[in-house]
Amino acid sequence: MKDKKNYCAVLVNIETRELLGILEKRSKEELIKYLKKWGEEVLLGIEEVSIDMWKPYKTVAQEVIPQAEIVVDRFHLMKLINEELDKIRKKEKREMEVAFKKAKGKKRKQEFKNKLEVIKKSKYVLLKNQEDLEEEDEEKLKIVLQEYPKLRRVYRFKEKLRQIFNTCNNWADGLLRITNWLRRATSYLPESCSTIIRWLGEIIAYFDNGTTQGVVEGINNKLKLIKRRSYGFRNFNNFVLRCDLSFSLAS
């Protein structure tokens, strides 16, 4: 969670869907201090930790619960891919706008205008999971991919990676398929691929148990709703108390 530029840390037991704690500051020092309060017996019982790709989370886990397997949340990884895909979409749009302005002749200008119309408002259809698109959106996606070859290639890499996560059920197969994917995708998604290579061990750990932060995202949304309903909190402790109360009443 974040408030303007201030990030909070939310700790959740993914197995029981229990909110374990909310820290006002998302720093390595605060996380270590908080976790150590749980005691050695509790910490030694933790077998797996799901995190996004924020390096201090990994450092904290390695220091405080070294026996736990660290797993990168697949949905945060796909968010990273989508962000780079959207950067490429914006770049393609800017280049088409420049081409339209420079075009000579009515026919040529109309051609670029038509291409601009195709890419306008295309973010939704490119970033959403293909199977979740309505029929009208599927047709729009088809046209976008026909007119913009680079977007077509990047989009297919995105969907291929999602397919790997949906179909692999062991780490060896996952490692092989992601490595092959990286070999082909690096020139099209350099930023994302560089991050995946750095976090490859934690990414393929997903294939052991299929652990994700879907539960955490649901809790985060509820916490944001509590904050909005209260028009914000000046006192962080009051916010934590309100959240504890809401979750205890719901359980």
Per residue in 21-50, pLDDT (tens digit) is 888 888 999 999 999 999 999 999 999 999
Boundaries of domain holding 68: 2-73+211-250
Lookup: tokens for 171: 């780490």
Handedness of CA 75, 175, 55, 91 (dihedral sign): negative
Do residue 38 and residue 140 come from a single domain? no
Do residue 56 and residue 150 come from a single domain? no
Do residue 38 and residue 137 come from a single domain? no
Q: What is the pTM of this model?
A: 0.86
Do residue 169 and residue 203 come from a single domain? yes
Per-residue pLDDT band at 158 (split at 50, 70, 90) = very high
Do residue 56 and residue 165 come from a single domain? no
pLDDT of residue 24: 83
Do residue 102 and residue 142 come from a single domain? yes
Lookup: tokens for 234: 């000046």
Mean pLDDT of the chain: 90
- Segments of 56-215 assigned E as strands: 69-72
Do residue 195 and residue 239 come from a single domain? no
Do residue 177 and residue 205 come from a single domain? yes
One-letter identity of residue 11 = L
Do residue 205 and residue 217 come from a single domain? no
**E strand or H helix that includes residue 4:** none
Which CATH number covers residue 64? 3.30.420
What's the CA gap between 160 and 215, in Å, rounded?
A: 24
Question: Which of 47-56, 191-200, 207-216, 238-247 has the least mean pLDDT?
Answer: 238-247
Domains in the chain: how many in total?
A: 2
Query: Would the pLDDT of 251 be above 80?
Result: no
Percent of the chain with pLDDT over 70: 94
72 — phi, psi (to 5°)? -80, 130
What's the CA gap between 137 and 246, in Å, rounded?
A: 38
Per residue in 107-140, pLDDT (tens digit) is 999 999 999 999 998 999 999 999 999 999 999 9
Q: In the block, which residue shows the tokens 């201030």?
A: 6
- Segment 74-98 mean pLDDT: 96
Strands 9-13 and 6-7: unpaired
CA-nearest of 77, 29, 33, 69 to 53 is 77
Do residue 201 and residue 232 come from a single domain? no
Per-residue b or e along 127-144, where b marks 16 or more CB atoms closer than 10 Å to that residue's CB: beeeeeeeeeeeebbeeb
Per-residue pLDDT band at 245 (split at 50, 70, 90) = confident
Do residue 83 and residue 114 come from a single domain? yes
- Segment 227-238 mean pLDDT: 70
Do residue 82 and residue 194 come from a single domain? yes
Per-residue pLDDT band at 7 (split at 50, 70, 90) = confident
Per-residue pLDDT band at 17 (split at 50, 70, 90) = confident
Query: Would the pLDDT of 5 be above 70?
Result: no
Query: Would the pLDDT of 3 be above 60?
Result: no
